[in-house]
Structure 1
Amino acid sequence: MSLSSVLPEGPGLLPYWLLTVALTGIGNSIQSYSTLHYTQRIYNGQSSDTGKPASETSSVTPLSARTFGTWSFVSSLVRFYCAYDITNKPLYDLAMWTCVTGMIHFGLEWSVFKSGRIGVPLLSPVVVAGATFAWMFTQRETYLG
């Protein structure tokens, strides 16, 4: 079995990107169930003002981490299936909505609820979701006709 036999067959690079983002999200889901460390870095993680570790400044609980992990897993599944069936309009739209949902969630956590601080842990998922949404939006006609 070659690597190409398990990769998406759609045209262009977007299916490969969606697969990469999906697999990364599944990995993130697994870590959300196994440790609080990385999720705590996103939600009020280490403050440069106090120098306190994320475990002392975060409101992340084991339950909220698992809930976040479940949400990430479902979003990853949608992106995974879209990577392999990128011409399916409802699936394409759902994958785009996972990006919008992520951007809104992290944006609200930062701006309204004040549970996220600007930094790499928070900005990484926002940038990935934003770039993925923009890419999917601009390539919509290419994949959906």
Structure 2
Amino acid sequence: MLPGTSLQSFLRSWIGVVGFMALGNTVQCFISGNGTTERLYAGSEDQVTSLAVRLFGVWTFLAAVLRITCALYIHNNQVYFLTLGSFILVFVHFISELLIFKSAVFSVEIISPLAISGTSIILMIVGRWFLEPHKVKRH
């Protein structure tokens, strides 16, 4: 077994699971309406409109598709770095909503996406070192 192979397998699985979790969150946005998102942005419930919830759902769907694609094609540089960028974007978004805009409050609803995106960022940076160079597609 090549060094890092088990880490690669774990990383693929992790990214895939996170992608499918995002699909579930997408469905929640369109079915549950404002309730789910209001808990996430509890600091500014008056700003959470139906339009904002649907927009959040579409954004989450796009992230889900990207992450599932990355899990399937983990050796593709472009997909890998776009996925890493999506996790960075999520992390920065929720940190800014919590600390700068104060639209989120420190709760399980905000800790969860921060923990998942933060863990994913670390795993993807470390995992990149172990991807076999000859299998990485460069375009």
Please confirm whether the aligned pair reaches a TM-score higher than 0.5, indicating the same fold: yes
Q: Which residue of 2 aligns with 1:114?
A: 102
DSSP 3-state at the match of 1:77: helix
Q: Which residue of 2 aligns with 1:49?
A: none
- The one-letter code sitting in structure 1 at the alignment partner of 2:24 is G
Q: Measure the CA separation in 1 of the matches of 2:11 and 2:95.
A: 25
Q: Measure the CA separation in 2 of the matches of 1:68 and 1:123.
A: 18
1:72-83 equivalences in 2 (<5 Å)? 72-83=60-71
Q: Which residue of 1 aligns with 2:37?
A: 39
Q: Deviations over 1:2-26 (max 9, x none)?
A: xxxxxxxx94211111110000001
Q: Deviations over 1:57-88 (max 9, x none)?
A: 45311100011111111011110000000000
Q: Measure the CA separation in 2 of the matches of 1:116 and 1:68.
A: 15
Q: Measure the CA separation in 2 of the matches of 1:11 and 1:112.
A: 36
1:45-124 equivalences in 2 (<5 Å)? 57-124=45-112
Q: Measure the CA separation in 2 of the matches of 1:138 and 1:132.
A: 10
Any stretches of 5+ residues in structure 2 without a counterpart?
A: 1-6, 134-139
Q: Which residue of 1 aligns with 2:21?
A: 24
Identity of aligned residues (%): 29
> Contact 1:28–1:72 at 8 Å: present in 2 too?
yes
What stretches of structure 1 move > 6 A for 4+ residues in a row?
none
- The one-letter code sitting in structure 1 at the alignment partner of 2:23 is I
> Contact 2:8–2:127 at 8 Å: present in 1 too?
no
**Larger helix proportion, structure 1 or 2?**
2
Give the deviation of 1:34 after TM superposition: 1.3
Give the deviation of 1:112 after TM superposition: 1.1
Compute the TM-score of the two structures, normalised by the length of structure 1. Answer: 0.82
Q: CA RMSD in A?
A: 1.7
Any stretches of 5+ residues in structure 1 without a counterpart?
A: 1-9, 46-55
> Contact 2:26–2:60 at 8 Å: present in 1 too?
yes
